[in-house]
Amino acid sequence: MTKLKIETGVENQILRAKAVPVEKIDKSIKKLIQNMVDTVDKANGLGLAAPQVGVGKRVIVIIFNYDTDHEIIMPFINPEIVYFSKKENICEEGCLSLPGVWKSVKRSSLIRVKFLDLKGTDQLLEIENINARVVQHEIDHLDGILFVDRAEKDMEEPKN
């Protein structure tokens, strides 16, 4: 398949636009998802949102259980987080659209996300820890939010 160009930059208007829902899961959406899988795999990322490759659709792909025997790449069409745990954790994040930038971000440690699979079937998935963090990060992209917008101001790198 094809490795797509990843949009970069905090001020990039493509990354700042709100993505629109997918109305129909057709060949073009399935091809987009396959190309996104190839792109995130080749870029050594944990997830990728369609706006990051210049497509304003509510589609993300996530690599769950990264670098383990249980690694799986999963597409989410029109994902929506329907539950955020009160328990949160702070962890350093990076982004394929902001190469070389790392910031500490507070996120819920457990979420429930509803979405459509490739067949158009409604799904509900409970996810925790790093997998939940990646899904939250990628869904933020669908709303024009970058991780630096959520970075903990008091957790920034120490000044030398």
Catalytic center residues: 138
Spatial separation of the C-alpha atoms in residues 94 and 146, rounded to whole Å:
10
DSSP 25-94: --HHHHHHHHHHHHHHHHTT-SEEEGGGGT--BSEEEEEETTTSTT-EEEEEEEEEEEEE-S-EEEEEE-
Distant-in-sequence, close-in-space partners of 133: CB < 8 Å, separation ≥ 6: 89, 91, 93, 105, 107
